[in-house]
Structure 1
Amino acid sequence: MASLVKTHTRPPQVQFDMLLIWVFIALLSVGLVMVYSSSIATAEGSKFTGHQASYYLMRHSMFIAVGLVAGALAFQVPVQTWQNYSPYLFVAGATLLVLVLIPHVGREVNGSRRWLSLFVINLQPSELMKLFAVMYAADYTVRKGRESNSIIKTFLPMFGVMAVVGGLLLLEPDMGAFVVVLAISICTLWLGGFNLKVFGLLVFMLPMAFAALILSSPYRLQRVIGFMDPWADPYGKGYQLSHALIAFGRGERFGVGLGGSVEKLFYLPEAHTDFLMAVIAEELGLVGVVCVIGLFALVVIRAFQIGRHAAFLERNYSALVAQGIGVWVGVQATINIGVNMGVLPTKGLTLPFLSFGGSGVVVNCIAAAVLLRVDYENRRLARGMPA
């Protein structure tokens, strides 16, 4: 009589970070709802939108769809391929920053020349540069790891590259993007274990150069110090911030209700872009603000955990890319929220994944896909499978 053999099959292991995926979905979903809520009055009152209340909703939905497709394609690219092409991508990004400054090539809006017209949409090269800076800084740190004690071979090249990129960004002007790129570069070198002397020089010299550029322009200087007392000129340079603070005050703990914001009714400029958090605070209150901050905190924490796992597997470039994306999202979200709350100077930075804007949403989705790819390869390699 043949013996019956009972076989046990192991349940398949999850190859994706489902928590992180749901966090990204939540951020994009909250952004879609709040962009619509904050832009209805603006869209209805503008001839540019054809007085269509859903204009920004439809545009933002299209940007998210394009971002998801771009993210799906980016996820298919192995991290090693990103590393191989990171210097070329960085050069391409710098070239776009030059093109945007050329008259009749770059598009000027509200006194800033930050966009390249692609007929259907406008491309903002500074958004791409943030992603390329993450990849380039990670590759540079890995390549120069053996020479981390040499000031000439490590400090001077990185300082020169960042100074050039910073100069191009400030000529637009886009001080916020430069601050983010600067933070990415410095933190990546620190996380990569660079010699303290070299790291210290970079930390000292880059902010010094940044300060010199600010002091050289009365416009930049006023942008930096104007936030300290917005009520001194509430109808001038303090107009945006004063109304953002009013929105935070009206929201209290639970908000006035979704769609009930008064400040978005032509009082608060750029309510669906740079000052979206103020509308969230007014309509959803402290609870809504804390939830959004919690979602960003989860992204940063998981990015660093994924990076640590990659470092344990001796995948140094992947580790630095994951942590660099965490630094990027964390720094930009912190600056945007700080600006909305009046604790940081106005810098024109959007809220990642939430604010209206084609280039920002698409690049954010690509960055999310790269982070998920690093985690995917980590999981496969940990099980002895090829990445």
Structure 2
Amino acid sequence: MSAPAEMFSRLASFKSPRKQLTSWFDLDDLDPVLTVAFISLLTIGVIMVASSSISVADRNYSNPFYYLQRQLVFVAIGIFAALTVFKIRLVQWEKSGMALLLFALFLLVLVLIPGVGKTVNGSTRWLPLGVFNLQVSELVKLFLVIYVAGYLVRHGDAVRSSLWGFLKPMLMVGLAGLLLLIEPDFGATVVIMGTVLGMTFLAGARFVQFMSFVMIFASAAMLLVVTSPYRMQRLTSFANPWADPFDSGFQLTQSLIAIGTGGWFGTGLGGSVQKLFYLPESHTDFLFAVLSEELGFVGVSFVVLLYAALFFRSLKIAAQAERAGNYFAAYLAYGIGIWLSMQAVINMGVNVGLLPTKGLTLPLMSYGGSSLIVCCAAIGLLMRIHYETNGVSRQASKGGARKATRTAGRIKKKPATGVRAGGALL
């Protein structure tokens, strides 16, 4: 073949970036609301990390864009993780539930070994991996949700009818929570326990058993608070931060000043004063306060609406999976929705002074590789659930129910018991 003919042949076979992307998966198979909320939160997060971290990055690294550059790398890795997870069939995740649980427990033990885990501000939560530190609790959240979703499918009848069936996953989650408390990471423990309790309630656990465990967990949490001096200090400073505004209440008072300064429309992007070494962790745990100061009530409302869209879309995706008979996908979607929204609500509550400081990031927005990448992977799972559910429904509507079953990987048999009233899930 001559050189011109070969050149024209290559040009004819060239695919645009959009075509290359759609050859990997069909963009029409992505949930539009979930995708828009996901990309919007990532974008706003990058902008706010850049704005809130300039001063501290310049002081610590002589590079005002240090945190921005790293966050952009984390976002790229996170999107790649979401797309990779999207390509894996749900049946593979369901089969791997126990292995993921054991791996999560292994990581929780590994991080506590002296000389292995990295200690920051008195907490040993990170495994140093060279280029960045892996926060083990972030992976544990995702792995436990996958494990519990599979357990509820396999032992749903036992969860609904016997105390042991209900307690078994709680014991496994309790073991993980105990290891997290040793680090200590009380915030992650609260999120994990709340998520698992929500999943078991939707699975049809008896109300008496459910409320009994809630009361036990709440009592244990209060006991941990009153017996731990630093947790007790957080509680008292949360109750009245202005009693000690320059010590125990300093972070919360600075956060409240930032939020109050923002007003309706904010001081403008980059106009925050509190980020200038007044508000600690302004680009991580207290990013929401800087966002409130710079974008005001209007900007905050938009971000809250994005999280609400993500949560309610998760519920809808779960309900669609339940109607299609894929109960693992449904429980998984419910778990991810509860986890991400609960963590977002806690972070916002801490920033506005409604909850004691927990050390939790704002999902998909705060600076940090572990949280961002794992949250992106969770969104990828939601997209996969939507994809498989829609694939079943679409092919079944064309008379290809048998082919749809084969394409999705499996469809679970419907459990024998009834639907939880108001819960849409068995």
What is the TM-score of this pair, normalised by structure 1?
Answer: 0.94
Query: Which sits farther off after the overlay, 377-386 or 182-191?
Result: 377-386
Query: Quick one: distance in 2 between partners of 1:287 and 1:228?
Result: 27
Q: Distance in 1 between matches of 2:320 and 2:204?
A: 16
- Post-superposition offset of 1:109: 0.8
Q: Please give the per-residue CA displacement for 1:25-69, whole angstroms capped at 9, x wherever unaligned.
A: 1000000000000000001111xx2x1011000000000111111
Offset at residue 100 of structure 1 (A):
1.1
Report whether the alignment pairs 1:37 with 2:48. Answer: no
Distance 1:40 1:242 in 2: 22
The DSSP-based 3-state class of the residue aligned with 1:256 is coil
Give 1:85's aligned residue. Answer: 96
8 Å CA contact retained: 2:160, 2:204: no
Question: What is the aligned partner in structure 1 of residue 68 from structure 2?
Answer: 57
What is the deviation of 1:365? Answer: 0.6
Partner residue, 1:175: 186
Question: What amino acid does structure 1 have at the position aligned with 2:32?
Answer: M
Whether the 8 Å CA contact 1:148–1:198 is kept in 2: the answer is no
**Is the 1:150–1:198 contact (alpha carbons within 8 Å) kept by the matching residues of 2?**
no
Q: Secondary structure at the match of 2:124?
A: strand
Determine the structure 2 residue equivalent to 1:198. 209
Of 357, 373, 376, 2:384 maps to 373
The structural deviation recorded for 1:265 is 0.2
Please say which of residues 199-208 and 12-21 is displaced more in the overlay.
Answer: 12-21
The partner residue of 2:289 within 274, 278, 290 is 278
Equivalent residues of 2:107, 2:136 under 8 A apart: yes
Q: Provide the rounded CA distance (Å) in 1 between the counterparts of 2:27 and 2:243.
A: 59
Deviation at 1:355, TM superposition (A): 0.1
Q: Does 1:213 align with 2:224?
A: yes
**Superposed CA offset, 1:271-308 (max 9, x none):** 00000000000000000100000000000000000000
Structure 1 stretch 64-73 or stretch 135-144: which is displaced more? 135-144
Q: Residue type matched to 1:357 in 2?
A: G
Report the counterpart of residue 257 of structure 1 in structure 2. Answer: 268
CA separation of 1:369 and 1:102: change in aligned 2, threshold 3 A: same
Pairing 1:17–2:17 present = no
2:129 alignment partner, one of 118, 126, 132: 118
How far 1:151 sits from its partner (Å)?
3.9
Point out where structure 1 has 5 or more consecutive residues left out of the alignment: 1-11
Secondary structure of the 1:354 match is coil
Distance 1:155 1:208 in 2: 19
**Paired letter, 1:169:** L
Contact kept, 8 Å, 1:133 with 1:184, in 2: the verdict is no
Indicate conservation of the 8 Å contact 2:285/2:361, yes or no.
yes
The separation in 1 between residues aligned to 2:357 and 2:386, in whole angstroms, is 35
Within 1, Cα distance between the matches of 2:293 and 2:33?
A: 28
Contact kept? 1:60, 1:356, Cα under 8 Å: yes
Counting matched residue pairs gives 373
- Counterpart amino acid of residue 117 in structure 1: P
| Structure 2 unaligned residues grouped into runs of 5+ | 1-25, 396-403, 409-426
SS of equivalent to 2:46:
helix
User: Alignment RMSD, CA only?
Assistant: 1.4
- Aligned-partner Cα distance in 1 for 2:75–2:32: 19
| Mapping for residues 201-350 of structure 1, pairs under 5 Å | 201-350=212-361
Q: Distance in 1 between matches of 2:354 and 2:84?
A: 38
1:102 alignment counterpart? 113
Question: Which amino acid in 1 is paired with 2:240?
Answer: D
Amino acid at match of 1:232: A
Q: Quick one: which of 394, 416, 425 aligns to 1:383?
A: 394
- DSSP 3-state at the match of 2:280: coil
Q: Give the TM-score normalised by the residue count of structure 2.
A: 0.85
Is 1:133 the counterpart of 2:147 in the alignment? no
